[in-house]
Amino acid sequence: MNGDPFQETMYIEESTYKNDMISLIFSLKEKVGALATVLRIFEEKSINLTHIESRPSRVNKDEYEFFINLDSRNSPLLTDIIKTLRNEIGVTVHELSRKKKKDAVPWFPRTIQDLDRFANQILSYGAELDADHPGFKDPVYRARRKEFADIAYNYRHGQPIPKVTYTEEEKKTWGTVFRELKTLYPTHACYEHNHVFPLLEKYCGYREDNIPQLEDVSKFLQTCTGFRLRPVAGLLSSRDFLAGLAFRVFHSTQYIRHGSKPMYTPEPDVCHELLGHVPLFADISFAQFSQEIGLASLGAPDEYIEKIATVYWFTVEFGLCKEGDAIKAYGAGLLSSFGELQYCLSDKPEIQSLNLEKTSVQKYPVTEFQPVYYVAESFKNAKEKVRRFASTIPRPFSVRYNPYTQRIEVLDNAKQLKNLAESISSEMGTLCSALKKIA
């Protein structure tokens, strides 16, 4: 057993799970009597451990991690024991195999490098086109799509995103979409989009005759909000795609739609990503809001993933927001569609206030204009609503992203909460000091 306990969950479940066994991983500081204290708790409850392994922690150098098995007949006592370990001793515990719904936590990435593990677990490969796709009968376009898919398939975190030499036909398609949409942005797009767009033109090569490179755009976003792009070879599952947002990583396509229909695409393409998504990811409030959606998805049950994905659809993809007395578009699906950007602000669709309890279960069409759109008061207000919604998700912990280590911290014991409190205290000290200086 090597690596982080959450990283190894899939391996352990496949290799060591037995129907009559319960498996746990916990970590302890390296000090005399630490393990004996934990084992005494099991002994007092008359629980017999059938297997135990240890290894130095790769996360905290002063800790050891222990993997244990115990008889499933002890399951009724386990909840109290885990609570004691977490709250009274400060042990980090991860349960792997007990058959109890509320404790069955799906695997999720703990480090930004973990995104490599599922980046290629795609639902459809980039070169695979449906029969009704405009490029289905075009062998040159299909071969080109495979080139883009292969670039993404071979990408790993930390590598520069390979630059692409786009063809004249591809640049012509981009130019048509760029030119038409840019005429609508001043009147239809939200302030944040219009504020960032000139910066993208200045620093990232956004022009009618040039398709920006993902690497250049990703570097720009990192300087603005810490968001970054990662090339993807096809469609990811909702769970995997949302998990990327928790690390401020957006999985982006690099190919462009078929030139025969420049104003239509049946799937996300580089026009959708760069014209629709990227400008908003450069805004601090929107970046925080998007990350909150990703954090809410980590370890969530499947039925809640569907709800969170629906919230994403009606906000990040097709969201509207108030701007004074007017309503503007901020969803990428709107900002990258000439037709729907006009339609969404007409008197044809139904407009409702953003209510996540209702929005999360709203059915929606994928291949036609939306019959209903939801309006957010502000990105800050939407972010708070996502946080409240996340608190209703049945998972036995909370999570926090540490931008210094680029890790997800699982807040499920006294030690983690103490570290969080100290971090908040330090930030509050900085705030109080700054307030005194400007008072």
| Alpha-helical segments (H) within 29-188 | 34-44, 75-84, 115-118, 139-153, 168-188
Residue for token digits 């993902």?
214
Instruction: Of 324, 337, 231, 243, give the one whose Cα is nearest residue 290.
Output: 243
Q: How close are the terminal C-alpha atoms of the chain, in Å?
A: 55
Catalytic residue among 336, 337, 360, 398: 336
Catalytic residue among 317, 340, 360, 398: 317
Catalytic residue among 8, 272, 273, 360: 272
Q: Is 157 labeled as catalytic in the residue annotation?
A: no
* Strand locations in 97-243 (E): 122-125, 228-231, 234-236
Q: Is 272 labeled as catalytic in the residue annotation?
A: yes
- Residue 164: how many CB atoms within 10 A of its CB? 19
What letter represents residue 405's amino acid? T
CA distances for 388 relative to 291, 356, 424, angstroms: 14, 9, 20
Q: Is 317 labeled as catalytic in the residue annotation?
A: yes
Q: How far, in Å, CA of 329 to CA of 322, rounded? A: 9
Q: How far, in Å, CA of 168 to CA of 197, rounded? A: 24
Q: Is 340 labeled as catalytic in the residue annotation?
A: no
- Whether 92 contacts 416, CB under 8 Å: yes
Catalytic residue among 238, 277, 340, 398: 277
- Whether 163 contacts 249, CB under 8 Å: no
122: left (phi > 0), else alpha (psi -120 to 50), else beta?
beta
Which DSSP helix (H) or strand (E) runs through 328? strand 326-329
Residues forming the active site: 272, 277, 317, 336
